[in-house]
Chain A
Amino acid sequence: MIKESLISEFQKIVGKDNVLTSPEALKAYSYDGTSNWVREPDVVVFPTSTKEISDIMKIANAEKIPVTPRGGGTNVSGGSVPWLGGIVLCTTKMNKILKVDKENLTATVEPGVVLQDLTLRLAKDGLFFPPDPQSFLGATLGGIIAENAGGPACVKYGVTKQYILGIEVVLPTGEIVNLGGRTLKNVVGYDLLHIFISSEGTLGVITKAELKLNPIPPARKTTMVVFDDVAKAGESVFRVLENGVIPDKIELLDNWVINRIEEMMPMGLPKDADAVLLFECDGIAEAVEKETEKIVEITKKYGAVDARVAKDADEANKYWLARRAGFAAVFGKAKTVFAEDVTVPRGKIPALINRCKELAKKFNLEIVVLGHAGDGNLHPAILTDISNKEHYDRAVQAMDGIIEAAVEFGGVLSGEHGIGLEKQKFFRKVTDPVVVDMMKNVKALFDPNNIMNPGKIWD
């Protein structure tokens, strides 16, 4: 519990309306986008400036109160759940896009800017911010940077860390520092900027960011490719790339997901297909046209039974709507869902899919596969029920198996969700103890009192 006197200190800093302590409000800040990680803070504080955050951090550090930064709370790792109570520092009211610089293709934003709001604003200038976590309707830039989020467009454009030029950070001591800068190249000493990207809110509070932008490509085209074997779909992913075509997105839906989507909103997906791949190419119209032709040719050569090129934007949107509905389809069908985030080198996608199938058989479970096949980041989802212990135990074993497989194939435990609470159990298992120690030492350097988002990543 936090002392009453401190609550009034916070009220003095951010104003009375920006400090919430009612039991109902605390409950509303006890969760994120995951299903089972719930823990209430003692207070929710809404700063509106870097200075306010700095003042709050000074108090928290002196009193050793845990601080969990939170934006839209759409993350799926437990990252913004205040696991040890304390302060939820909610940045949703710091949501100004401070500058869009067309000359330098950059934007300056506050941490609470919602990605979709940024996208809409940038579109007015013909620009876009390429990282595209699928939580873009609620995800805020501070969290996107702290989690190093990615999405389907990673195949061609990469993830968040490739698009952050600089950040302003408030350290646990209250000091305000700028890391990185505004230039594309920057080798002035250690790259501390990138220590904060994917730090999951454990090192400091990101209060401002300088983003790198791209011009919106003038044309795009979607192709849906149908397979009678999900492993063949996996192979087609790297075959297309090795033949010189880099689509901006390659997404995979397996038979189970296709059928659930068709139940939810019939849109003519091939229900008997074992899997479909959705390709999108973007760029100059002529190039997009040629690349699309090549995708059809190559996927057919490697076993696709059908390839449908979307004739217009409406048809393309329909396919992408289906992809976005994928997770809802999965979550709607089970009490508890383990949505894995394993990522493997692309060549190992068929092997990983086959292993998922074997594990499903071995443990008698429903394991469905969808995800960003193009970058090797699959989201195998295990359908279970936490209240059914026997079933749940089998699901946990299968999850262990998937993660072991990913590591065995040279991949990683999490591609874009982060460790947070959800993946802690596996983090230690698959991370070199020396590396874990190095991380802890880095953490201690920035945050000696361990107040920043404690209880995450390795605990």
Chain B
Amino acid sequence: MKDLKELKKIESFADQCMKCGFCSFFCPVYQEERVETSVARGKNFLVKEILDGKQEFTDEMGTIIGKCLLCKRCVANCPAKTQIDRVVVGARAQMVKNKGLGFIKNFAFRKVMANRKAFGNYVKLAKAFQWMLPKTEGNIRHLPDFLKALGQGRNIPAIADKFLRDMVKPVYKPQDGKPAKMKVGFFTGCAMDFVYPELGLKIIDFLTKRGIEVAVPSDQSCCGAAIYFSGDFETGRMLADTNIKAFKDFDYIVTGCATCSSTLKDYQKYLPDNEDQKKRYEEFEKKIKDSTEFIIDIMKVKPEELKLKKEFEGKTATWHDPCHLVRYQNIKDQPRAILKGLKGLKYVEMPNADMCCGMGGSFSVYHYDLTKKIADKKMDGIKATGADIVVTACPGCMINLIDNVLRNKMPQKVYHFLELVE
């Protein structure tokens, strides 16, 4: 008997679909390809065929299930409230279980990304060879192995000279020397560790300036997004356990990466294999705060009291909603409140602000051409605003937005919202 355990878990979600096809209007991939296998309705139908024993886990099936950004626009707009993300991720998990990950992914996920130290060394190795490769201003053209797949001529921001992990202290006391108002754990995330370490330091500075003690547990790991969204639940659970252990002593765990915060929150949704896991993941979820919501909802910072950095005075900013913020966490007002509150900054809303940038993690590795087309629509939105800067809260989006702004020879610069404030 074929193992369908992971699929069985999502069967009730798949049954929700009533085949109205409205998802086609919201699916960035369908909008480019206009083929039924690209859209939620088609994928859902095929997953149901597997559940009914009428379809096998073929390679083609793998491609179809793989070709989803997990942006959740279809979910947000589904009249039947079908959680197609659960269906797609569940199907990927079942495929990984039954057929294994491809070798490259296998190596990358299990041996490298899951091992924090190895991942760091690997990225360093890539960095060391950067000088050999054709270079554009501050961008890497090629990286070895799986990182190379990320390359494909894309403008990747240079890997940092020194990683965040090598710069941080285990604990940062409030800068005013007074007893801490709150103690939080800081989850760095891979992008901030390897690509934007100065952003990590900025967040620590922002929090400690305002009376908060920040700890950076050294045994934290990758959040697991690329891993469990690809269906490797086994490694995903391993990472979940590592992170839960690393942060067990904190009431709040703060991160500046929308994908990390949503991934950590959603362990309870995608990963549990038993009641005990479910309970522990749910407990963990309650502690996770994205930097946007932590600043506004927990610290109760008044946006108008924040001070805009001098270099941004008189600039016009627009906000890009990361999928993992706006739809995975329903966070949209907090970052806008910050940007609108900042004196000296002009805010303009971008058309389709909540449209996926096209990154989708490893999606862009395998479907870079599609990523570019989807990003072009995002770029049209940015152009329409006339903004000087594009602001967001996800380093993943930042990487893709920078790539596409450069590719389209646009003048805009891309920032994390915390880079704007003193």
Chief secondary structure at chain B's binding surface: helix
Question: Taking the nearest CB of chain B, how far is it from the CB of A305, in angstroms?
Answer: 29
Q: Does B58 contact A (CB under 8 A)?
A: yes
> Of the 9-residue stretches B17-25, B289-297, B357-365, which lies at the interface with chain A?
B17-25
Q: Given A74-B20, A135-B20, A138-B21 in contact, is the A29-B58 Cβ separation under 8 Å?
A: no
8 Å CB contact of B18 from A20, A95, A116, A328: A328
Which residues of chain A are near B23, meaning CB under 8 Å? 138
B16 at the interface (CB under 8 A from A): yes
Interface string of A1-38 (1 = CB under 8 A from B): 00000000000000000001011110111011111000
Inter-subunit contact B25/A29 (CB<8 Å):
no
A331 lies within 8 A of B25 (CB) = no
Given contacts A28-B42, A328-B18, contact A112 B24 (CB under 8 A): no
* B18 and A331 contact, CB distance less than 8 A: yes
Give the residues in chain A near B19, CB-CB below 8 Å.
31-35
Q: Among A33, A95, A331, which residue has its beta carbon within 8 angstroms of that of B34?
A: A95
Q: Does B380 contact A (CB under 8 A)?
A: no
Total interface residues in chain B, CB < 8 Å: 27
Residue among A24, A72, A135 facing the most chain B CB atoms (10 A cut-off):
A24
A324 vs B21: C-alpha distance when bound (angstroms): 14
Give the complex CA separation of A125 and B153 in angstroms: 40
Assuming the A-B contacts A112-B34, A135-B21, are A324 and B55 also in contact, with contact meaning beta carbons closer than 8 angstroms in the complex? no
A86 to chain B, nearest CB (A): 17
Q: A24 near B79 (CB under 8 angstroms)?
A: no
Determine whether A137 belongs to the interface, using a CB cutoff of 8 Å to chain B. Answer: yes
Binary interface profile of B, 33-56, with partner A (CB < 8 Å = 1, else 0)?
011110000100110010000010
Say whether A24 contacts B58, CB under 8 Å.
yes
Complex Cα–Cα for A148 and B315 (A):
52
- A-facing mask of B1-40, CB < 8 A → 1, else 0? 0000000000000001011111111100000001111000
Whether the Cβ atoms of B45 and A31 lie closer than 8 Å is yes
Which of B25, B49, B79 touches A328 (beta carbons < 8 Å)? B79
> Does A72 lie within 8 Å of B21, measured CB to CB?
yes
- The residue that A27 contacts in the complex, of B16, B20, B46, with Cβ under 8 A, is B46
Known: A33-B19, A72-B21. A92 touches B34 (CB 8 A): yes
- Identify which of B20, B25, B55, B60 contacts A116 (C-beta below 8 A): B25
Q: Hey, which chain B residues are within 8 Å of A20, CB to CB?
A: 35
CA distance A398 to B84 in the complex (A): 34
Provide the main secondary structure of the chain A interface.
loop
Fill in one digit per residue for A299-330: 1 if any B CB lies within 8 Å of its CB, else 0: 00000000000000000000000001101100
Return B59 CB to nearest CB of chain A, in Å: 10
Is B238 among interface residues, defined by CB-CB distance under 8 A?
no
CB neighbours of B46 from chain A (8 A): 24, 27-28
B22 touches A325 (CB 8 A): no
Q: Is the CB of B36 within 8 A of A28?
A: yes
Taking CB atoms and an 8 Å cut-off, the chain B residues in 83-126 that contact chain A are none
For A18, the closest partner residue in chain B by CB is B35
Contacts of B18 in A (CB 8 A): 33, 35, 327-328, 331-332
Q: B81, A264: Cβ atoms under 8 Å?
A: yes
Across the interface, which residues of A come within 8 angstroms of B379, CB to CB?
none
Inter-chain contacts of A116 with B (CB < 8 A): 25
Question: Given the complex, which residues of A lie within 8 Å of B24, measured CB to CB?
Answer: 72, 114, 137-138
Asked if B64 is an interface residue, CB under 8 A from chain A, the answer is yes
Q: B80 interface residue, CB < 8 Å from A?
A: yes
- Separation of A34 and B21 alpha carbons in the complex (Å): 11
- The answer, among B22, B42, B49, B80, for a CB contact under 8 Å with A138, is B22
Cα-based distance from A92 to B60 in the complex (angstroms)? 22
Q: Which residues of B contact A (CB under 8 A)?
A: 16, 18-26, 34-37, 42, 45-46, 49, 55, 58, 60-61, 64, 77, 79-81
Can you add 11 more A-B contacts, CB < 8 Å, to A24-B61, A35-B19? A28-B42, A28-B45, A33-B18, A73-B36, A74-B22, A95-B34, A135-B20, A138-B21, A138-B23, A327-B20, A328-B80
Chain A residues proximal to chain B, CB less than 8 Å: 20, 22-25, 27-29, 31-35, 46, 72-74, 92-93, 95, 112, 114, 116, 135, 137-138, 264, 324-325, 327-328, 331-332
